[in-house]
Structures are given as structure tokens and as C-alpha cells.
């Protein structure tokens, strides 16, 4: 059984493409990542410096509020932000954070796992994928908090989605995590969803990440202070969206036919 599994893995993965081992600069963040982080900082400065009532209205208008979606639409329109917040909340919540510590942690994760995806997709596709992952995280969060006044804020769902997408790039060619983060990913063939779930390295990463995310969320551990907890539901929804949707946004550079034995 072990030999058969190993043979299947090798056949599905195929040999690494030429040039896939070229190293990318150790720190050369795509401009779009710096722009996104700057937007995070601007919104946090606004929260900190606006008068309390205006800051509260800003947060309620941009955060994802499950209560909105349990109300009739005419009642939801009376809440801060109105119908624009009803439609935009699944996306705009990613620009708010529960303090500077929360923002810093998310920015570091964005630089680590967003960079491979941004280099591969380019700025426009990267932004679209990030927004969809943020929305997927919010919608996965919704049934667990139906009609709650809980405010979901932070880019963690979107970044989890970028992490899910990056798995299909980082581990391509049977690379290790460290090697995959360093190399040039512009010319490799991404893993398929099936390979991501069956091959040992990406599967192990997925299981470990899911386990840690679930444990931290259920234990109520947070990054923004004692009243905030990790929204494991949003992380999970975003991660799955990124893992599944990368192929829809990938420009297909370097795509080649899979070899069969």
C-alpha cells in the first residue's frame, strides 16, 4: 500500500518545471500588499482618532453584523450604514481591525502568504480573490452567529483564503514550505485541488492549520484584547474559498499537461 501510494503521488505531481526552483528575493513584497496594509492603517487611525460616536458608527457601518441579515430588509436599512452596509459588510469588514496588535498580526500573515498569490495573479486578480475570500469567511460565520450583535472585523478571513490559495503554489513540484516561499512561482504549475488534499506536504499543512484554527477559536483566544476572540468560522470559510477558487483567477502562466506513467 505504501509503495502504491508513493507511486501515485509521484505520477500525479510530475517533475518540477524548468525554472521552478529559481529563488525569489527574500523580501520583495508586491506593491499591492503594501497598499492594502496602508489602507488597514488608515482605517485604524480613523477608529482611534474620530470622536467616539463617529468611530462607533464607522465600525458598525463597515463590520459584518449578523443581526442585519436576520431582519427584514427595511429594518436593516435603519441600522448605521443602511443597505450599503447590508450589501458591503461581507467585503468591507476586512478593512477594520480590533486594535493595532490585530492589524500587525494580519499584516505579517498577509506579507508571508499573500505575496506568492499576488506575484502569481497580479494586483487586480489578487484583490478580487481576496474580496471573495473575505465574503466567503463572513458567510460561513453567519449561520454560527445568526441574529447576533457580534461584529466581525479583520482581514483574517481574506488572508486565510490567500493561505489556502498559496498552498497550491508553494507545495507545487513537491517543494517544502521553506523552499516554496522562497522560489519564483510565476512559471510553475499549481497543484490541483485533488493533489492538495492527497499529497503529503499540502495535506499535512491543511490539517495542522485547520486544527490550530479550531482549537484557538473554541478556546476563545484572541489577538485584539480580552473581549475579542478568533473567528475560526471566518478563517475556515475564507481558507476553503481560496483553496477552491485559485484556478478561476490563475492566468495559467507555465501551465503544462500532467504526465501519466
Which ranges of the chain would DSSP assign to H, the alpha helix?
2-13, 31-49, 52-62, 66-70, 73-76, 82-92, 100-109, 115-121, 123-141, 156-170, 177-182, 193-198, 200-218, 232-249
- As a whole number of angstroms, the distance between CA 172 and CA 261 comes to 19
Pick the CATH number of 2-249 from 1.10.760.10, 3.20.20.140, 3.40.50.720, 1.20.1540.10: 1.20.1540.10
Q: pLDDT tens track of the chain, all 261 residues?
A: 444 344 434 434 444 443 444 444 445 789 999 999 999 999 999 999 999 999 999 999 999 999 999 999 999 999 999 999 999 999 999 999 999 999 999 999 999 999 999 999 999 999 999 999 999 999 999 999 999 999 999 999 999 999 999 999 999 988 888 888 778 777 788 999 999 999 999 999 999 999 988 887 777 654 433 345 788 999 999 999 999 999 999 987 544 333 333
- As a whole number of angstroms, the distance between CA 149 and CA 98 comes to 16
The residue extents of the domains of the chain are 2-249
Amino acid at each position: 500500500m505504501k509503495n502504491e501510494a508513493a507511486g501515485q503521488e509521484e505520477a500525479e505531481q510530475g517533475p518540477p518545471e524548468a525554472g521552478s526552483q529559481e529563488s525569489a528575493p527574500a523580501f520583495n513584497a508586491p506593491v499591492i500588499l503594501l497598499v492594502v496594509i496602508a489602507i488597514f492603517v488608515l482605517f485604524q487611525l480613523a477608529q482611534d482618532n474620530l470622536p467616539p460616536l463617529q468611530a462607533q458608527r464607522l465600525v458598525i457601518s463597515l463590520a459584518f453584523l449578523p443581526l442585519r441579515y436576520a431582519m427584514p430588509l427595511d429594518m436593516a436599512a435603519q441600522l448605521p450604514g443602511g443597505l450599503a452596509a447590508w450589501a458591503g459588510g461581507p467585503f468591507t469588514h476586512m478593512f477594520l481591525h480590533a486594535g493595532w496588535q490585530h492589524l500587525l498580526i494580519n499584516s505579517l500573515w498577509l506579507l508571508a502568504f499573500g505575496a506568492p498569490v499576488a506575484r502569481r495573479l497580479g494586483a487586480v486578480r489578487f484583490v478580487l480573490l481576496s474580496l471573495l475570500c473575505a465574503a466567503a469567511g463572513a458567510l460561513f460565520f453567519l449561520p454560527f452567529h445568526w441574529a447576533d450583535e457580534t461584529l466581525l472585523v479583520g482581514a483574517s478571513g481574506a488572508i486565510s483564503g490567500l493561505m489556502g490559495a498559496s498552498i497550491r503554489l508553494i507545495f507545487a513540484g513537491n517543494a517544502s514550505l521553506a523552499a516554496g516561499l522562497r522560489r519564483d512561482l510565476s512559471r510553475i504549475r499549481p497543484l490541483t485541488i485533488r493533489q492538495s488534499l492527497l499529497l503529503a506536504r499540502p495535506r499535512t499543512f491543511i490539517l495542522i492549520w485547520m486544527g490550530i484554527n479550531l482549537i484557538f477559536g473554541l478556546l476563545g483566544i484572541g489577538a485584539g484584547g480580552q473581549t475579542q476572540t478568533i473567528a475560526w468560522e471566518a478563517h475556515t470559510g475564507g481558507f476553503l474559498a481560496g483553496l477552491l477558487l485559485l484556478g478561476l483567477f490563475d492566468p495559467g502562466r507555465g501551465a503544462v499537461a500532467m504526465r501519466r506513467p
